[in-house]
Structure 1
């Protein structure tokens, strides 16, 4: 049962990670200047990882760079929280409130309002533009809803 939950969580993390990337393509949370070093890259640099590594990329097409280290961080975050959801949503039904929306809001608040500003990975919430909060709040709701949908589809209620 735990192996099934882990596999479902990994699938949900991969799919929801793609959903969140798609959401950010529609409503980018940060300006291009602030996204030059995005939060995953900034966090790694704060932990001592060099800019050469955090900004490593592969050239996808003539003018498209894919920053794979940031993508690995993005998907690791998504997989971690999707696996947690898959492991605990039955034991903690509160996680499923609003079809996972509450889960997304709690994770958004914890990281974007508390943890990342306190660690100076992103500016304080008051110094972040409204567009960033708007995009991140809705993005986390949709991201967590995607986790919920995959988990429910693969494991049932």
Structure 2
């Protein structure tokens, strides 16, 4: 049974992680500041750039939705708030604690409040999208 849950979580997690990361990137693209658009990207020629931060977030989304699906199969309390609770937990643990400790960015109270609101809403939409994909594909085992 665990092998079936993990197998289903892998392919549903891949689909959901890609979609959720695109939703979050699209949301944050609406509210980009001039300094936020200056990212470290690698040019591969012909005007094509690779943005490693978005690539890492895509991989993180895939891994975290797999964790979300496996967790929801054993304890459905994580689906409270239709996945937005999970998005808020990820924002607190990863975006606030990990990135601050590794000095990738300052605490949210050192940023403009508008940027913090956009980030929080982006993670809430990200978690909600993961939840919608998980319940939309019933093979994942996550239900209402």
Change in Cα spacing, 1:57 to 1:84, as seen in structure 2 (3 Å) is: farther
Q: Paired residue for 1:99, among 82, 87, 96?
A: 82
Residue 59 of structure 1 contacts residue 66 of structure 1 at CA under 8 Å; is this kept in 2?
A: yes
Q: 1:26 maps to which residue?
A: 30
Shift of 1:119: 1.6
Q: Paired residue for 1:134, among 117, 124, 131?
A: 117
The number of aligned residues is: 136
Q: 1:84 maps to which residue?
A: 67
Output the TM-score relative to the length of structure 1: 0.77
Q: 1:75 maps to which residue?
A: 58
CA distance in 2, matches of 1:125, 1:19: 22
Residue 117 of structure 1 contacts residue 125 of structure 1 at CA under 8 Å; is this kept in 2?
A: no
Change in Cα spacing, 1:36 to 1:123, as seen in structure 2 (3 Å) is: same
Deviations 1:66-101 (A, max 9, x none): 424333212111111111112221212121011001
Q: 2:136 maps to which residue?
A: 153
1:56 counterpart = 2:42: yes
CA distance in 2, matches of 1:77, 1:60: 28
Residue 41 of structure 2 contacts residue 49 of structure 2 at CA under 8 Å; is this kept in 1?
A: no
1:36 counterpart = 2:38: yes
Q: 2:103 maps to which residue?
A: 120
Shift of 1:58: 4.5
